[in-house]
Chains A and B, each alone.
Chain A
Amino acid sequence: DTAVSQTPKYLVTQMGNDKSIKCEQNLGHDTMYWYKQDSKKFLKIMFSYNNKELIINETVPNRFSPKSPDKAHLNLHINSLELGDSAVYFCASSPGRGGDSPLHFGNGTRLTVT
């Protein structure tokens, strides 16, 4: 009964490849997010979707493309992976439109680009 689940947990791939990370939440929340945590533990928001509508799109290379087929899913597709993309990617969800309620985080996906 995991609330926010991400797959895969670990992802090791070579530069130039294209990969996807999937996220699903069963909390009935309206808003979902992708955060990137770098090697220094710094968390930075990448995207936010509210009811399948993109509401936050930070300064992220356009190689990163989020897809929300429904409000319970927010997938992240990354094209032409680079070494600097190595990080832990966290999916999260919240009941409100954003920030007015706590976020529920997934367990993270550790992406290693070699």
Chain B
Amino acid sequence: AQSVSQHNHHVILSEAASLELGCNYSYGGTVNLFWYVQYPGQHLQLLLKYFSGDPLVKGIKGFEAEFIKSKFSFNLRKPSVQWSDTAEYFCAVNGDYKLSFGAGTTVTVRA
């Protein structure tokens, strides 16, 4: 079985600060990795994905994530956040035809 762990439950930061959200997974085989974002009152949208190749992937809105296989991690980063980045962020892993989500991290950006 696969599982996903997100380290931070709630992150509060100011505009222009850097953001890093941790994600670790457990699964013995090949995985596909995703970060989704859910803005207040909206549905989930894909931020970025990793299937293979360069472990540093870039997504929309200036987000990037790095896959470190040895650490079973897929951390999300953004160098300078904006107020509009306030949202819920979900890491997701697929290893057996089923996408499993982490518990989510609430990010609040203060103007």
- With CB as the reference atom, state the residue of chain A lying closest to B96: A99
How many A-B residue contacts, CB cutoff 8 Å? 56
Number of interface residues of A (CB under 8 A): 23
- With CB as the reference atom, state the residue of chain B lying closest to A98: B97
- Given A41-B104, A43-B104: A90 in contact with B43 (beta carbons within 8 A): yes
- With CB as the reference atom, state the residue of chain A lying closest to B38: A41
In the bound complex, CA of A107 to CA of B98 (Å)? 21
Interface SS of B by simple majority: strand
Check if B103 is an interface residue, CB within 8 A of chain A.
Answer: yes
The reply to whether A41 and B43 form a contact with Cβ atoms under 8 Å apart is no
Q: B residues within 8 Å of A by Cβ?
A: 32, 34, 38, 42-46, 49, 51, 88, 90, 94-101, 103-104, 106
